[in-house]
Amino acid sequence: MNPALQPRTPAAASCREDAACGPEAGARTLVAGVGNIFLRDDGFGPEVARRLASAGNGSRPGVQVVDYGIRDVHLAYDLLAGVAALVLVDTVPPDADAETPPGSIRVLRIRAEDLGETAALDPHGMDPAAVLDRLRSLGGELPPTYVVGCVPADLSEGIGLSPPVAAAVPEAMAAVDKLLNSTGPAGP
């Protein structure tokens, strides 16, 4: 789980109810499933990416779906190559202002002001916030970035999603699809 992806400013508000929240139509969008499949619910992002790719979303014009797992350096280099928009799929902490049970889906917009610049890239782990934090120092720019996140129930060692998180996969796929299909401005 990446608490650093919790929005730090009001600008990084939830865009769950905002139909005009996604990237502009026709733009090259990277959908990145991130997480460790050996830590139960942390495998949520890779599972959603796998299911999106098998459902044909990876072959949509202008969309690339990738299961990055724990390869944050790979994600950083792909972002440096340039994308018009990024949709990260990962576990997220519960909403601090509301009761969010395990399996709840949260859609967030991440902006540069939501990030710090102290995180380090780890070639043996995945911290999406570190990738986004370091992007500018590596010569890149933060594209319009969204997180489709799920509140985990179980992050212990083991393979397989908990029942509430497994049940949330179709909802997350629908949230990603909504972002990909949005034709409004790139932000709430």
Classified as helix, coil or strand, 149 is strand
Of 103-112, 119-128, 130-139, 157-166, least confident by mean pLDDT is 119-128
Q: What are the strands, taking DSSP E only, across the chain?
A: 29-34, 63-69, 85-91, 105-110, 145-150
For 105, phi and psi rounded to 5 degrees? -100, 135
Q: What is the largest CA-CA distance in the chain?
A: 41
| pTM for this predicted structure | 0.77
In terms of phi and psi (left: phi > 0; alpha: psi -120 to 50; beta: otherwise), the region of 161 is beta
Q: Give me the residue label for tokens 């083991």.
A: 158
131-160 confidence digits (pLDDT tens)? 777 777 788 888 999 999 999 999 999 999
57-99 confidence digits (pLDDT tens)? 667 888 999 999 988 888 888 898 889 999 999 999 888 877 8
Q: CA nearest 69: which of 45, 48, 51? A: 45
Of 39-43, 124-128, 134-138, 172-176, least confident by mean pLDDT is 124-128
Residue ranges of domains in the chain, CATH in brackets: 24-181 (3.40.50.1450)
At 168 the pLDDT is 98
